[in-house]
Amino acid sequence: MGILNSKVPSGPLADKWTKHKNEIDLVNPANKRNIDIIVVGTGLAGGSAAATLAELGYNVKTFCYQDSPRRAHSIAAQGGVNAAKNYQGDGDSVYRLFYDTIKGGDYRSREANVYRLAEVSTNIIDQCVAQGVPFAREYGGLLDNRSFGGVLVSRTFYAKGQTGQQLLLGAYAAMNRQIQRGKIKSYTRHEMLDLVLVDGKARGIIARNLVTGEIERHSAHAVVIASGGYGNLFYLSTYCMGANVMAAWRTHKKGAFFANPCYTQIHPTCIPVSGDHQSKLTLMSESLRNDGRIWVPKKLEDAQAIREGRLKPTELAEEDRDYYLERRYPAFGNLVPRDVASRAAKERCDAGFGVNKTGEAVYLDFDSAIMRYGREKAMTSGMKDPDDKTIRELGEKIVEAKYGNLFQMYEKIVDENPYKTPMKIYPAVHYTMGGLWVDYNLQTTIPGCYAAGEANFSDHGANRLGASALMQGLADGYFVLPYTIGDYLSDDIRTGPIPTDSPEFDAAENDVRERIKKLMSGSGIHTVDYYHKKLGKIMWNKCGMSRNAKELEEAMEEIAALRKDFWENVKVPGTPDSKNQELEKAGRVADFLELGELFAKDALHRNESCGGHFREEYQTEEGEALRDDENFKYVAAWEYAGEPKDAKLHKEDLEYENIKVKTRSYK
């Protein structure tokens, strides 16, 4: 077991980043023209990094499996982006955002990284507005804010329920400007299949052109992995269908440590599963918890009547409803952090209070918000004694203006009108806090290989707060990586172009070809989806919202067996030298089948509950997570050593010099 060096600069917390920027080496503009950088993934982190690096003068190549960089799944982020602007004058500050993020992450993230994130958060908003991102505004023309879970201020900037889309289109536009200048070469419908190391440094990738099936070699002086998270491991999730861990996992197998794989975010407000045919789950933004109240019936017999269709939720009297979040967590109410809200929903449903056919759903009710807004509107419009119907109509209009697209999305999927009857929601896999281990410079344990955005592990600890993913992706890409990567590349100014005809590239390409051949030579009994669904079931049932040692051990064995079966019996039709979506899926599922085992191993070794990782053996009498700071206040970074079960543990101890480590309470 080794000790990891996080390379956090010395000095007071608030000065670290400025000091670091002043001290690290730079590459002069003329030399940047001779340096190539590969960026894998074009979401918020990859897109913003690529644009900024190109603008600084580096030659950038971007890779994405989608047909356009603009389609990366950052586009689906709904609610907003946090920034410590304190435009609302409600007492927000860089320190408070830093504090909320550390506490929200259940004291399992690195202080210096989180402080830097909070510090640059304000630049993000300035930057995006300058780029023409149309954020929501108030009538006075200034930017509007709303509130998200786990905080007591309004610091979230938004563009209706399409914030991720607007921010990504901003980064994509910045990329387009550099593509037009010839500084970025964008490879779309391309997938990274392996990382190439020369003399221990990351020097390129092997990629597959997904249209022609061609295997290509691309070299560079540094490689940035910004390929997102690995939640599709669970098969059903709010991730896009193509989301995968391949780039990160290949990098891990080449020597990069993988940190905290078991930290997964299960988002409390998603549309419940409707049947076995389901391919994907849809999120209903956390912003809805600003106005929606979550409840289940108080009495078991009412819950049963609702499940059987004998009773409608709107018929249930106020005193027969259990607003369980408001009851359990009066200080934060419906805006507790995601892990807390998810577990509370599961607890109620497991106790028999679920409200849909499968018993796995709770209500998210907008009725009181509609009436409250309606009364306010009637008052400001000077109406005297309006009746309930008028108030309701006025209120519905206001709720529509705030959340219209989400309500429409819900209605299209569920075929129920959420203005008239409460939404049904249930937790679903949404984000992964774990990822490639990186130091303060966002460099992995492989020199020259960096990881940004959701692909790295760095800022969210064991639980991410709402509207912080967009913040982190853009912070990494626009404001952190472009500085820190120069420190490494300053040694490469005399290296010259990296050749792709070296034995290292030969070997990597050969491995990739062998792997594809093997994938296509299974006995052909089951489809790729068959294995993916099976893996998803194991993950959800045994490594999901609550975990225990026995089931985690079982999961490790079951996943290993499933992986063996997969390689022997999977059926991949078609040929490798053409467009072949089944082959693409097969490669991705093969990696999930390895990561899943490491995930369970990580969850098994962490004998405590923290954030999204809830071990049934470690909880308080009230059922809250019970951390063990004495033994587990560290980042678990795993080194690849053959089979996932043999991975070697390295620890990075987390030191809190500026925050007092406390039991997280939202009561």
Partner 1 sequence: MKLYLKIWRQKDAKSKGAMVDYTLDGVEEDMSFLEMLDILNEDLIAKGEEPVEFDHDCREGICGTCSLMINGRPHGPDSLITACQLHMRSFNDGDEIVIEPWRAKAFPVIKDLITDRSAFDRIQQAGGYISVNTSGRPVDANAIPIEKEHADDSFNAATCIGCGACVAACKNASAMLFTSAKVSQFALLPQGQVEAAERVQNMVRQMDLEGFGNCTNTGACEVECPKGISLENIARMNREYLSATLKG
Q: By CB under 8 A, what part of segment 144-203 binds partner 1? A: 159-160, 162, 165-166, 169, 172-174, 176-177, 179-180, 186, 188
Residue numbers 543-572 binding partner 1 by CB under 8 A: 571
Q: Is 653 in the site for partner 1 (CB under 8 A)?
A: no
Grouping H, G, I as helix, E, B as strand and the rest as coil, residue 288 is helix
Instruction: Name the minimum Å distance from CB 507 to partner 1.
Output: 31
Using the rule CB under 8 A, which residue among 496, 497, 499, 573 binds partner 1? 573
Query: With 0-12 CB in 10 A as exposed, 13-18 as middle and 19+ as buried, what is 641?
Result: exposed
**Smallest distance, Å, CB 499 to partner 1?**
29
Q: How many other CB atoms sit within 10 Å of the CB of residue 612?
A: 33
CB-nearer residue toward partner 1: 453 or 461: 453
Contact 567, 586 (CB under 8 A): no
Angstrom distance (rounded) from CA 121 to CA 459: 13
From residue 357, how far is each of 351, 411, 547, 642 by CA, in Å? 15, 18, 25, 44
CA gap 319, 307 in Å, rounded: 19
Give least dist CB 483 to partner 1, A: 8
Q: Which of residues 60-79 bind partner 1 (CB under 8 A)?
A: 66-71, 73, 75-76
CB of 361 to partner 1, least distance (A): 14
State the nearest-atom distance from the C-beta of 142 to partner 1, in Å. Answer: 5
- Contact present, 422 and 363 (Cβ < 8 Å): yes
Q: Is 338 considered catalytic here? A: yes
> Using CB under 8 A as the criterion, what x/- string covers residues 84-123 for binding partner 1?
-x-x-----------------------------------x
The SS3 call for residue 87 is coil
- With 0-12 / 13-18 / 19 or more C-beta atoms within 10 angstroms meaning exposed / middle / buried, residue 554 is middle
Closest separation in Å from C-beta 153 to partner 1:
17
Q: Which of 10, 22, 91, 277 binds partner 1 (CB under 8 A)?
A: 277
456 scored as a contact of partner 1 (CB under 8 A)? no
Contact letters (x/-) for partner 1, 574-593, by CB under 8 A?
x---xx-xx-----------
Tell me 277's DSSP state.
T
- Contact between 188 and 64 under an 8 Å Cβ cutoff? The reply is yes
Task: Quickly count helices (H) and strands (E) in the chain.
Answer: 19, 21
| Per-residue x/- track, 32-51, partner 1 (CB under 8 A) | ----------------x--x
Q: Are strands 215-219 and 201-209 parallel, antiparallel or unpaired?
A: antiparallel
**Which residues, 410 to 439, sit near partner 1 by CB under 8 A?**
412-413, 415
Query: Nearest distance from residue 667's CB to partner 1, in Å?
Result: 34
Q: To the nearest whole angstrom, how small is the minimum distance from the Cβ of residue 357 to partner 1?
A: 11
- Choose, from 338, 588, 606, 615, the residue flagged as catalytic: 338
Measured from the CB atom, the residue of 64 and 498 that comes closer to partner 1 is: 64
Which part of the chain contacts partner 1 (CB under 8 A), choosing from 52-60, 381-389, 604-612, 657-665? 52-60
Helix (H) or strand (E) holding 173: helix 163-180
Q: Edge to edge, what strands does the sheet with 321-322 contain? A: 264-270, 423-432, 362-365, 293-297, 321-322
* Contacts of partner 1 in 280-309 (CB under 8 A): 280, 282-283
Length of the chain: 667
Query: What is the chain's Cα-based Rg?
Result: 25
Least Cα distance to 588 among 196, 273, 228, 256 occurs for 228
Q: Which of 1, 30, 91, 279 binds partner 1 (CB under 8 A)?
A: 279
Alpha carbon distance 14, 591 (integer Å): 40
**For residue 321, which amino acid is it?**
R
C-alpha of 628 from chain center: 25
Site for partner 1 in 345-404 (CB under 8 A): none
CB closer to partner 1, 66 vs 265: 66
Please give the size of the binding site for partner 1, defined by CB under 8 A: 80
- From 278-286, 435-443, 446-454, 620-628, give the range in contact with partner 1 by CB under 8 A: 278-286
- Which residues within the stretch 306-345 sit at the binding site for partner 1 (CB under 8 A)? none
What part of residues 459-488 is at the interface with partner 1 (CB under 8 A)? 478-479, 482
Q: CB-wise, 50 or 112, nearer to partner 1?
A: 50
Least distance to partner 1, CB of residue 535, Å? 17
- The smaller minimum CB distance to partner 1, of residues 6 and 156, is found at 156
Which CB atom, from 369 or from 586, has the smaller least distance to partner 1?
586
Residues 503-542 that bind partner 1 (CB under 8 A): 527, 529
Binder among 143, 198, 493, 661 for partner 1 (CB under 8 A): 143
What is the C-alpha end-to-end distance of the chain, expressed in Å?
39
Instruction: Return d(Cα 638, Cα 640) in angstroms, integer.
Output: 6
Q: How far is the CB of 344 from partner 1 (least distance, A)?
A: 25
**Among candidate residues 263, 533, 296, 239, the one with its CA nearest the CA of residue 426:** 296
Nearest in space to 256 (alpha carbons), one of 109, 455, 480, 116: 455
Token couple for 554: 């079982």
Q: Which residues have a Cβ under 8 Å from the Cβ of 278 and sit 6 or more positions away?
A: 236
Phi, psi angles (nearest 5°) of residue 429:
-65, 135
Q: Among residues 186 and 290, whose Cβ is nearest to partner 1?
A: 186
**Which sequence positions are flagged as catalytic?**
338
